Amino acid sequence: MSEDLSGRRIAHYRIDGVLGRGGMSVTYRATDVRLGRKVALKVIGEHLAPDAEFRERFVDEARNTSAIDHANIVPLYDFDEVDGLLYIAMRLVDGQDLAGHIKEGPLTPARTLTLLAQVAEALDMLHGKGLVHLDVKPANVLVTQKEGVREHVYVADFGLTRRGATGHRTRTGDFLGSPTYAAPEHLRGEPVDGRTDQYALACMLFACLSGRPPFQGGVQEVIAGHLSTPVPALSQLVALPPAIDEVIRKGTSKDPAQRFASCAELIAAARVALAGVAQGSAPDRLGPQSGSFPAQSPVSGPMPAQQGQFQGGGYQQPLQDPVRLRPPNQVGVSAFTSGKKERPAWFAPVIAAAVAIVVIIIVVVILSPGDEPARQPKTSSAPSLNIGDEPTSRKPLPTSVPVRTSP
103 is in an annotated binding site: no
From CA 310, how far away is CA 142, in angstroms rounded? 14
The residues, any chain, with a CB within 8 Å of residue 218's CB and separated by 6 or more, are: none
Let me know: does 182 contact 264? Beta carbons within 8 Å: no
Q: Which amino acid is at 161?
A: T
Is-contact 155 73, C-beta < 8 A?
yes
Helix (H) and strand (E) counts in the chain: 9, 13
The CA-CA-CA angle for residues 275, 276, 278, to 5°, reads: 100
From 16, 97, 124, 135, active-site residue: 135
> Do the bridges between strand 131-132 and strand 162-163 make them parallel or antiparallel, or are there none, so unpaired?
antiparallel
Q: Which residues of 279-316 are buried (b: 16+ CB within 10 A; e: fewer)?
A: eeebbebeeeebeebeeeeeeeeeeeebeeebeebbbb
Q: Which conformational region is residue 147 in: left (phi greater than 0), alpha (psi within -120 to 50 degrees), or beta? A: left
Report how far residue 308's alpha carbon sits from residue 15's, in angstroms, rounded to the nearest whole number: 13
Query: CA–CA distance from 117 to each of 87, 155, 199, 267 (Å)?
Result: 31, 12, 15, 6
Q: Which residues contact 70 (CB under 8 A, 6 or more apart)?
A: 121, 122, 125, 126
User: What amino acid occupies position 37?
Assistant: R
Cα 148 to chain centroid, rounded = 34
CA 113 to chain CA centroid, nearest Å: 28
Tell me how far apart the terminal alpha carbons of the chain are, to the nearest angstrom: 125
How far apart are alpha carbons 366 and 371 in whole angstroms? 12
Angle at 27 between CA 23 and CA 29, to 5 degrees: 160
Note if 135 is an active site residue. Answer: yes
Contacts for 341 with CB less than 8 Å, ≥ 6 apart: none
Binding residues for ATP: 42
Among all residues, which ones are annotated catalytic?
Answer: 135
